[in-house]
Amino acid sequence: MPLARLTELLPRPEAPPPAKDWEAVERELGVRLPRDYTALMATYGGGFIDNYLLLLEPGCGNSVYDLFRHAEERDEAYEELWNDEDKPAEMEEAGNRLIPWATTDNGEYLFWLVRPGRNPDEWTLMINEEGGEEWERYAMTVTQFLAGVLSGELRSEGLWSRFPEEVHSFRPAASLQR
């Protein structure tokens, strides 16, 4: 299981994160979220991985890590940006949308590609490089992606070359200044 593999690689927080009302979260987003992500949030919650990747959590008390805030900001930014620049081909399909599940301190975003009628557990992951039109696509879950990257079995060209660190770290969003 990818989450079990991830917990072998990435230290868990000392205290478990608060439980989420996933029905309320999914109502607000208008979609059901992937099961691996809800299990990831129950294990880690939002936080900072290897001093680079900000794992987003819906309704996070630290707004820097709040998935809702980032989703709204990205929707607005891309609506404006895609008036002047090319958008990924997948976004030409009616009803498709992007929901961020992580960002980086360099400004890259990691998204789910949400397609109407598609099982959330089968969503494609897309990474947008900071300030560019380049997109990477991964047919895997969030926990598969994180375990692959942290183990060195997977390399993203869109993420910082110094990520991941040799010794992995996780700092819960609740412990970080806003």
Tell which residue, 107, 38, 96, has the closest CA to residue 70.
107
The domain ranges of the chain are: 2-173
What per-residue confidence (pLDDT) applies to 112? 97
Q: Confidence class of residue 88 from pLDDT cuts 50, 70 and 90?
A: confident
How far is Cα 134 from Cα 127, in angstroms, rounded to an integer?
Answer: 8
Q: Confidence class of residue 2 from pLDDT cuts 50, 70 and 90?
A: confident
| Residues in Cβ contact with 104 at an 8 Å cutoff, skipping those fewer than 6 apart | 52, 53, 54, 130, 159, 160, 163
The residue among 172 and 88 whose pLDDT is bigger is 172
Mean pLDDT of 62-70: 94
Tens digit of each residue's pLDDT (9 = 90 or more) over 99-158: 999 999 898 999 999 999 999 999 999 998 876 678 999 999 999 999 999 999 999 988
What per-residue confidence (pLDDT) applies to 84? 67
Residues in the chain: 178
How far is Cα 87 from Cα 92, in angstroms, rounded to an integer?
Answer: 8
Query: Considering the domain 2-173 in this protein, what is its CATH number?
Result: 3.40.1580
